[in-house]
Every structure is written in structure tokens, then in C-alpha cells.
Structure 1
Amino acid sequence: MPERTVTIASSVGLHARPASLFSQAAAKTGVPVTLTSAAGKSVNAASILGVLSLGIGHGEEVVLSSDAEGADAALDELATLLGTDLDKE
């Protein structure tokens, strides 16, 4: 299964605006993506409530994974997004 490990760049982590931008981007890929926290909890990356429930902070590592067709391109796109400070855009 393709996966990407990413360090969260947003200064507030995946809360409020960054989580919303990320979950919207995940939904737009059309590929089911799973977001897994360092603690091992996994959620649907397109679910804003799921993403917020993880409480992921700045500098934490997460894993994005999917076994669907087109997963590599979607994971690359989402990994790049998480590696950007979404609070400054």
C-alpha cells in the first residue's frame, strides 16, 4: 500500500483552517486516503471532524496511505500540502 510520512508544518498543527484546507483537498482527490497519527489512530483524511479529532500539532509526523488507483499522485499532493504552513496562505 502506498504511503507517505509527513511532518506537519502548520504552526498550529492540523487545527481549524489547516485541517479544513487539508480535508477539502483530500476529498477533491477522489481517492480514499487514510491519515494516521503518531499515536496510531487512523481517520478518513477527507473528514474534517476525523482530522480534528486526532489533535495533531506542529512538528508531529503523520502517515498518509491509500491502496486505490491513483494513490501515488494523491498522496504526493497531500504530503506537499501538509509540508506547507497552511496558516500563512
Structure 2
Amino acid sequence: MAERTATIASSSGLHARPAKLFVQKVQETGVPVTIAVPGGADLNAGSILSLMGLGATQGTVVTLKAEGDGAEAALDTLAAFLEVDHDAEA
């Protein structure tokens, strides 16, 4: 199983617009991905409800996990996505 950590950069955390964009990125990978905050359960990263329930604010470190063909590349892309402030682009 591939695993990456990323620090949430968006000023609103992983909520609203950044969460929607992230779910779209997860779905584009075609790989099942989970996301977790420290001490939390692995949640479906392709679910907007799961992301909203994480309570991940700016600066929160999350762990992404995936397995299967393309998992390493998918996690590289997703981790890089989380480390950009998408609120600043709006």
C-alpha cells in the first residue's frame, strides 16, 4: 500500500471549494484513496461528506493511502494538490 502525508494549505482548510476540487482529483485518478487525520480513521477521499467530516484546517497534516496500479502516481498528484492554497486562486 502506498502512503503519503500532506499539509493542508488552503486557508479554509479542506472545506467547500478545496474539498470539491480534491474529490474531483481523486475521482480522476481512478484509484481508491483514503484520507485520515492523526489519530483518525481512514475515510474515503472521494467522498465530499468524508472530507467535510475530517475537520482538516489549514496546517493539518493528513495521510493519504491507496493501492493498486497507479497508486504511487495518484498519491503524488493528490498530496501536491493539498499543499497548494486553492482559496488564493479563487
Say if 1:15 and 1:52, in contact at 8 Å, map to a contact too.
Answer: yes
Match of 2:26 in 1: 26
1:16 maps to 2:16: yes
Q: 1:37 offset after TM fit, Å?
A: 1.1
The one-letter amino acid of 2:23's match is S
- 1:20-44 CA distances to partner (integer Å, 9 max, x unpaired)? 1001110111000001112322211
Question: % of aligned pairs identical?
Answer: 54
Unpaired stretches in structure 2, ≥5 consecutive residues? none
Residue 88 of structure 1, CA deviation: 1.6
TM-score, normalised with respect to structure 2: 0.94
Secondary structure at the aligned position of 2:20 is classed as helix
Q: What root-mean-square deviation, in Å, do the aligned CA atoms of Structure 1 and Structure 2 show? A: 0.8
1:66 has 2:72 as partner: no
Consecutive unaligned residues of structure 1, counting only runs of 5 or more, are none
Q: TM-score, normalised by structure 1?
A: 0.95
Quote the residue 2:84 is aligned against.
84
Report which stretch shifted further, 19-28 or 37-46: 37-46
Aligned length: 89
Deviations 1:46-83 (A, max 9, x none): 11111111111110100001112110000000001000
What is the CA–CA distance in structure 2 between the aligned matches of 1:69 and 1:54, rounded to whole Å?
Answer: 27
